[in-house]
Structure 1
Amino acid sequence: MTGGAAAVRSGIRFDRVSVAYGGNVVLDGLDLTVEPGEVMALLGPSGSGKTTALRAVAGFVRPASGRVYIGDRDVTALPPHKRGIGMVVQSYALFPHLRVQDNVAFGLKAQKADRAEIPGRVAEALELVGMAAYARRYPRELSGGQQQRVAIARALAIRPGVLLLDEPLSALDAQLRSGMLAELARLHRELPDVSLLYVTHDQVEALTLADRIAVMDRARLQDCGTPQELYRRPRTEFTASFVGNANLLPVTVAEAPGTVDFAGHALAVPTGEVAAGVTATLCVRPHLVGLGDGPNALTGTIAEVQWRGSTHRLYVEVDGHRIKADLRELRETPALGDRATLHFAAQDAVLLPAGAGASRG
């Protein structure tokens, strides 16, 4: 951190970590490594296990089996205050009766930091998040975004090697959320030694901030990779539908190389080593679907049109299947019931064989 010692460089490792409540498994055999200095997003719906994983690192839940490591230390049995981590939660958890500077100093005092160092480290942390001018205010005198900055400053003041963020932006409106995402990205650039484990159900947050994304569902890790890998080449239907938006079309691999059958239509797509006759799912992102004649053309009836400002989203019924297309600058808005032809390039499609789902990290 500027003006003081840098955080200790450390990562996180989950070694077959499982958590259960009353026989109900809420985290099942998680194997995952967050490298030193990496931003890892845990992305998934409610109940997927992502917050439980974060709480296992924080020390708020004890695994039924498996081990949790921070750096080289096995912290599975350590209490939270001995783990040397910073944590930011969605409710901010600021003390309303304490001024900003005293909220930020709280963790340092709990760690029995040198009293002479505390004012400087508080000032350093507030400066880092752009809140130095608000040091003497109370939380009630701050906006939601400002309170979140204070919560982050409090977590950073102890100079953690690991920073845990649990849905930190969910209480903010869309404009503030966008600004805080930019701030978190800036903070990570200024604190490259700090590992961030970021829990969210918001794919935009994960895609914007993370170096890698771990996709969780039903207590298990479903996939892990860079945002680009998961978006452009998902390995499972769940990943394709949860990271970004996708058309998922049921197909059968045809005898002709590089060809699949979709509702009687022959489509040219990369099939790799998938054998003929195998049923699979074809993933095509809506923004890669064009209107009019072209490769892999499919004609159907317009079932719905949504204007989204910079784009129109068309829903076209093709032989009982609804295909989405995000189109820019339509001069004339198509009418419901009109016939429309959609197309997509072979290289923009990803074939997902049935049962695909091995994780990557």
Structure 2
Amino acid sequence: MHSGIRFDGVSVAYGRHAENTVLDHLDLTVEPGEVMALLGPSGSGKTTALRAVAGFVRPVSGRVFIGDRDVTDLPPYRRGIGMVVQQYALFPHLRVEDNVAFGLKAQKADRAGIPGRVAEALEMTGMAAYAKRYPRELSGGQQQRVAIARALAIRPGVLLLDEPLSALDAQLRSGMLAELARLHRELPDVSILYVTHDQVEALTLADRIAVMDKARLQDCGTPQELYRRPRTEFTASFVGNANLLPVRVGEGQVTLGGAELKVDTGGVSSGSAATLCVRPHLVGLGEGANTMRGTVAEVQWRGATHRLYVEVAGQRVKADVRELRVPPALGDEVDLHFAPEDAVLLGAGVGEGTGVRDG
């Protein structure tokens, strides 16, 4: 089944007079077979968007499509979707195989075919050996696999994942990320909408990331596009870690304090204020292209790297450098540098709070 998802101007609001907007005119398309992550902080509108696809909230305006079908007015059970939520929502009194069969029975699937579909879903998620157990007899990671198996058993064209790994510890989360990536390879026709506030999950799993904030879509692109060439300060700070430094723009260069730095000004007009974005791992220690001199304010050892915090022209610049045998001391004067092609210049207010259209 080839089904994408399309939000066409979807707004959701609560309150007696719909005065509390929680999703504001969302235009976004998830292509058939694509993994789209909705990434943003709490209250950004990402879970509301997913619930609008599931049919758990009703838009006050706009339409939701699954494939070519307008599903805005359809109840959840008629939308043909699978869904996995944060707390798994398994039935404690049912064995694993009966939990997985629940959606098939609700859809009135052919009873003779249900055991085979259940076995297929459990095999796909590595839970075939646990079919007779109850949820209380499973670990958190195993319960999550059962929840995914239940969602897959109905062979959905669309799979909705709402913070599915947030209840797991770090090691289990890493393992489940690998499992979800494997499942996606095995189910190339299933469109996945994945809600998370965790940038590592989004960067690892998603074909594209939609960045949400304040009920609006702020940015959308591949993980590489958003990481290397963010269009807004919010994207730069939320997708990966970034130095965001206020600068003045000249002809083919910018000024930070007394230092003139060569970067692509990207159409930002000369004489205006802007923000220079450069990732900490692209900032080197010592002289080089675009040298900045500053004072070491903090040094953190992180195993393979040292994170240096250096005060440059009143701004704290982060640099992640390979582990140093003798790191600089607090108060030392040091030089930092970065390559011109490793920096992105963001014009003041570009894209902030305005919302964007997908694509």
TM-score (norm 2): 0.97
Distance 1:210 1:310 in 2: 27
Q: CA deviation at 1:306?
A: 1.2
Contact 2:301 2:323 in 1 (8 A): no
Amino acid in the other structure paired with 1:294: G
2:80 to 55, 77, 84: 84
User: Please, which runs of 5 or more residues in structure 1 have no aligned partner?
Assistant: 1-7
Distance 2:70 2:330 in 1: 60
2:198 aligns to what? 202
1:222 to 2:210 alignment? no
Please, which moves more after superposition, 295-304 or 144-153?
295-304
Distance 2:116 2:186 in 1: 18
Amino acid in the other structure paired with 2:2: R
2:306 aligns to what? 312
Amino acid in the other structure paired with 1:301: T
Amino acid in the other structure paired with 1:17: V
Amino acid in the other structure paired with 2:232: T
Distance 1:319 1:277 in 2: 19
1:336 aligns to what? 330
1:40 to 2:36 alignment? yes
Amino acid in the other structure paired with 1:296: N
Q: CA deviation at 1:273?
A: 2.3
Amino acid in the other structure paired with 2:21: V
2:349 to 340, 343, 355: 355
Tell me the SS of whatever aligns to 1:283.
Answer: strand
1:9 aligns to what? 2
Tell me the SS of whatever aligns to 2:112.
Answer: coil
2:258 aligns to what? 264
Q: CA deviation at 1:274?
A: 2.1
Distance 2:195 2:161 in 1: 6
1:346 aligns to what? 340
1:277 aligns to what? 271
1:103 to 2:114 alignment? no
Q: CA deviation at 1:360?
A: 4.5
Distance 2:32 2:98 in 1: 30
Q: CA deviation at 1:263?
A: 1.5
Tell me the SS of whatever aligns to 1:175.
Answer: helix
Amino acid in the other structure paired with 1:339: E
Tell me the SS of whatever aligns to 1:231.
Answer: helix
1:155 aligns to what? 151
Contact 2:27 2:358 in 1 (8 A): no
Q: CA RMSD in A?
A: 0.8
1:125 to 2:127 alignment? no
1:302 aligns to what? 296
1:57 to 2:19 alignment? no
Distance 1:107 1:174 in 2: 30
Tell me the SS of whatever aligns to 2:231.
Answer: coil
Amino acid in the other structure paired with 2:162: D
Alignment size in residue pairs = 352
1:173 aligns to what? 169
Distance 2:218 2:121 in 1: 36
1:323 aligns to what? 317
TM-score (norm 1): 0.96
Tell me the SS of whatever aligns to 2:220.
Answer: strand
Contact 2:199 2:239 in 1 (8 A): yes
Contact 2:28 2:357 in 1 (8 A): no
Tell me the SS of whatever aligns to 2:111.
Answer: coil
Cα-to-partner distance string for 1:245-301 (whole Å, 9 max, x where unaligned) = 0000111111xx311111121100111322211211110000000001111111111
Runs of 4+ in 1 over 6 A off after TM superposition: none
1:213 to 2:206 alignment? no
Cα-to-partner distance string for 1:133-155 (whole Å, 9 max, x where unaligned) = 00001111111100000000000
Distance 2:357 2:286 in 1: 37
Q: CA deviation at 1:311?
A: 1.3
Contact 2:294 2:312 in 1 (8 A): yes
Distance 1:78 1:199 in 2: 22
Distance 1:207 1:32 in 2: 19
Please, which moves more after superposition, 293-302 or 105-114?
293-302
Q: CA deviation at 1:173?
A: 0.5
| Aligned 1:227-242 pairs, distance under 5 A | 227-242=223-238
Amino acid in the other structure paired with 2:307: R
Distance 1:360 1:185 in 2: 24
Q: CA deviation at 1:333?
A: 2.3
Q: CA deviation at 1:243?
A: 0.2
